[in-house]
Amino acid sequence: MNKINQLFSSRGDKKLLSLYFCAGCPTLEGTADVILAMQRHGVSMVEVGIPFSDPLADGPVIQSAGTVALRNGMTLRHLFGQLREVRDQVHIPLVLMGYLNVVMHYGVENFCRDCVASGVSGMIIPDLPFADYLGVVKPIADRYDLRVIMMITPETSEERIRLIDQHTEGFIYMVSSASITGAQQSFDEAKQAYFRKINGMHLRNPRMIGFGISNKQTLTSAYDNAAGAIIGSKFVTLLNEAGDADEALRLLLKVLEEE
């Protein structure tokens, strides 16, 4: 069974925590260390960012991380090589997050083949049009038993949400707001109403809430309204400051427990 599906089917009432970091930042060869540190600290799933020169959905923290990673020499081919080296040590799901330009340049078939060879269970391509997903990407990903995770925002129509739920597996990435990534102190009433609306749709797929989660308040809100939470900018900031994945994770978990 695909590791993403296995994770959600076996979680029971446990809330899941997924963390994002950009491969190649702060150091080119630190990718495996970060993933293994996350696994040691009980992280449920890892989202590995593929650096790109024009990341439209990313806020300044993740944009900066991508710039550093590219300057360090990170490429998709190099990333796959790093992941293959630790494949047998990683037992939690790995999801690659990257933009369509990078995937198309690499080749969808080649990308999916190397995902499987590297122990990757799924992908998030924020700028992938839904029609291209259905017609081009999904048939290939399905052959390799890979999950293509689609995003929804407060501006996504109910019709499109239903289509995404019908034609995807794994989980739905529920973006907390229609803005770029970045830490927030709390989720306002508009976001809470959005969470309640999605809960009321009784979707087939579980949801993970991301964008803006950086403290106990936002984490609790995500846990109350979904299967779990995805944290990106806050962890990337701590990783850059600490320069050590274990220390960054210790600091993050402490922040998430503080009132």
Q: Which residues are catalytic?
A: 47, 58
Kindly give, in sequence order, each residue whose CB lies less than 8 Å from that of residue 203, ignoring residues fewer than 6 positions away.
Answer: 161, 165, 172
Measured distance CA(136)–CA(65) in Å, rounded: 30
C-alpha closest to that of 52 among 23, 26, 78: 23
Kindly give, in sequence order, each residue whose CB lies less than 8 Å from that of residue 8, ignoring residues fewer than 6 positions away.
Answer: 16, 170, 171, 206, 227
Q: CA angle at residue 105 from 101 to 106, to 5 degrees?
A: 120
Locate the DSSP E strands across 117-170.
122-124, 147-149, 151-152
Kindly give, in sequence order, each residue whose CB lies less than 8 Å from that of residue 193, ignoring residues fewer than 6 positions away.
Answer: none
Q: Is 209 helix (H, G, I), strand (E, B) or coil?
A: strand
Tokens 């579980």 label which residue? Answer: 206
**Residue 246 φ then ψ, to 5°:** -60, -40
Would you say 76 and 106 are in contact if contact means Cβ atoms under 8 Å apart? yes
Packed helices 233-242 and 60-72: angle between N→C axes, nearest 10 degrees: 50
Measured distance CA(223)–CA(121) in Å, rounded: 23
